[in-house]
Amino acid sequence: MHQQDQSTEVLTQAILRYAVERIRMNPPTLDGPKSEHDLRAMAGHTITADGLGGLEALRIFTDVLAPACISVDHPRFFSFVPAAPTEAATLFDLVVGASSICGTSWLEAAGAVMAENDALRWLADLAGFPQEAGGVFVSGGTAGNLSALITARSVWRKATRLDQTRGLIITSEGAHASVKQAAYVMDADILAVPCPEVMTGTDLAQAVSALSESDRDRIFAVVATSGTTNLGLIDDLSSIAEFCQASSIWLHVDGAYGAAALAAPSVRALFAGIEKADSFIVDPHKWLFAPLDCCALIYRAPEHARAAHRQHGDYLEVLYDGIWNPSDYAHHLSRRARGLPFWFSLATHGTKTYADAVEKTLALTQAAATLIDASPWCERILPPNLSIVVFKRQGWEDDDYTRWSQELLETGEGFVMPTKYKGETVLRFCIVNPTTTEDDITLVLNTLAPKVE
């Protein structure tokens, strides 16, 4: 199994051909899910005592399994938050896998860690963080938010000596579900501040003042959002940061989707105040053109994270001699060097190209809003926020949206799932792919036209 022979060479070439062909598909096929019954009928049992052989396993993946997965890099994938990795990033992901790098420590992966830290430094600079800031790449926003909040609670407990007290997290009603999940995992309480659209420092102050003194003492973190997943809204980071600083409360900014727009000069002012946060996250696999999975978690003062997350054991002590170990900054130990494809793409194309690409998607979002406004059967709900525009089809009920969305995917024309706004079923475009065009937007909008009987 570990010996190289002629069959290994044949399989290597076949896999590389498939990978290169898939990377260069323009556009890729959208594809879509199939039932397990249908997949099993086509694939059979894939794990057997004697094995299928590499070429047959690759055939099953290529012909059966891959077409049952939606291509998130398709230019008309507008649901959730898509991905649009550069060719350089995706190709280098192959290199990372082939290099057998354990990205846990400096001892094991000094070169990889240095490269990842260079990419983290660019992101920290975009946010206005100090030179001593740093962090780590984790799997996604859920892992990033959890790790940051574990650090925040560690700092609070050391300062208050309330080791046996159940902590409290304050966030907004529009916060991502992962914040609530982090509170659940940590056995902490969470309070969602009621606010019309975005949370402000005033909203936060009023919510905190309404708490009892004992509850106020339990607050160990405020989580603000810079780009809500559903609507693209940004909390008033500046006033929230002022309140947190005055109250000595850790401020974490969840920018998993939206903080990528820090790279775009045209909207940088929307993030004023993020430079005062204690930690923030942004997912390069969302809007900074890296492959899944890749979330950057950055701390203003990384030593707090190191104190909270460093694992100890006899065999680990050789690692701790003052060098930078990625395992110290999040809730993990073993990790792949998942930041390397992002670093390689940044190094290949340069930060200006990145800024231009984000600006292009922002401009296209504005153009999409104009096209929606011009449509006789669509109605825009909100102004476009970052790269998200929300609208509805006039006269439709919930079932109409569901049926249309399914048909759109089945025909391969696009992927647009309905969502909710104030309890009403609506549609949402999230545009993060620089290869998407106005023609793509128009094509999808035209499918919403009334059927001619």
- Domains parsed from the chain with CATH numbers: 6-30+33-69 (no CATH), 100-342 (3.40.640.10), 351-446 (3.90.1150.170)
Measure the CA–CA gap between 249 and 219, rounded to whole angstroms: 7
Kind of pairing between the strands at 424-430 and 388-393: antiparallel
Encoding tokens for residue 143?
């892992």
Largest CA distance in the chain: 75
Residue 196 has what pLDDT? Answer: 82
Half-sphere exposure of 33 (CA within 13 A, CB side): 5
* Number of neighbours of residue 340 by Cβ within 10 angstroms: 27
Task: State if pTM tops 0.85.
Answer: yes
Residue 248 has what pLDDT? Answer: 97
Give CA separation, 64 vs 377, 410, 413, in Å: 38, 16, 20
Measure the CA–CA gap between 135 and 330, rounded to whole angstroms: 8
Measure the CA–CA gap between 11 and 26, rounded to whole angstroms: 25
Kind of pairing between the strands at 295-299 and 388-393: unpaired
Measure the CA–CA gap between 366 and 386, rounded to whole angstroms: 9
pLDDT in tens, the chain (453 residues): 888 889 999 999 999 999 999 999 999 999 999 999 999 999 999 999 999 999 999 999 999 999 999 999 999 999 999 999 999 999 999 999 999 999 999 999 999 999 999 999 999 999 999 999 999 999 999 999 999 999 999 999 999 998 899 999 999 999 999 999 999 999 999 999 998 889 999 999 999 999 999 999 999 999 999 999 999 999 999 999 999 999 999 999 999 999 999 999 999 999 999 999 999 999 999 999 999 999 999 999 999 999 999 999 888 877 777 789 999 999 999 999 999 999 999 999 999 999 999 999 999 999 999 999 999 999 999 999 999 999 999 999 999 999 999 999 999 999 999 999 999 999 999 999 999 999 999 999 999 999 876
Separate counts of helices (H) and strands (E) for the chain: 16, 11
Measure the CA–CA gap between 21 and 28, rounded to whole angstroms: 10
Contact (Cβ atoms closer than 8 angstroms) between residue 74 and residue 423:
no
Residues 6+ apart with CB under 8 A from 39: 64, 65, 68
Which H helix or E strand runs over 419? Answer: strand 419-421
DSSP helix/strand/coil, 224 = strand
User: DSSP alpha helices (H): ranges in 138-176?
Assistant: 141-160
Residue 453 has what pLDDT? Answer: 66
Residue 117 has what pLDDT? Answer: 98
Buried b (16+ CB within 10 A) or exposed e, 354-378: bbebbbbbbebbebbbebbeebeeb
Torsions phi, psi for 395 (to 5 deg): 85, 0
Give CA separation, 25 vs 19, 33, 78, 365, 439, in Å: 10, 20, 18, 24, 18
* Number of neighbours of residue 334 by Cβ within 10 angstroms: 8
Which H helix or E strand runs over 425? Answer: strand 424-430
Measure the CA–CA gap between 241 and 251, rounded to whole angstroms: 7
> Peptide bond before 125: cis, by omega within 30 degrees of 0?
no
Buried b (16+ CB within 10 A) or exposed e, 111-138: ebbebbbebbbbbbebbbbeeebbbbbb
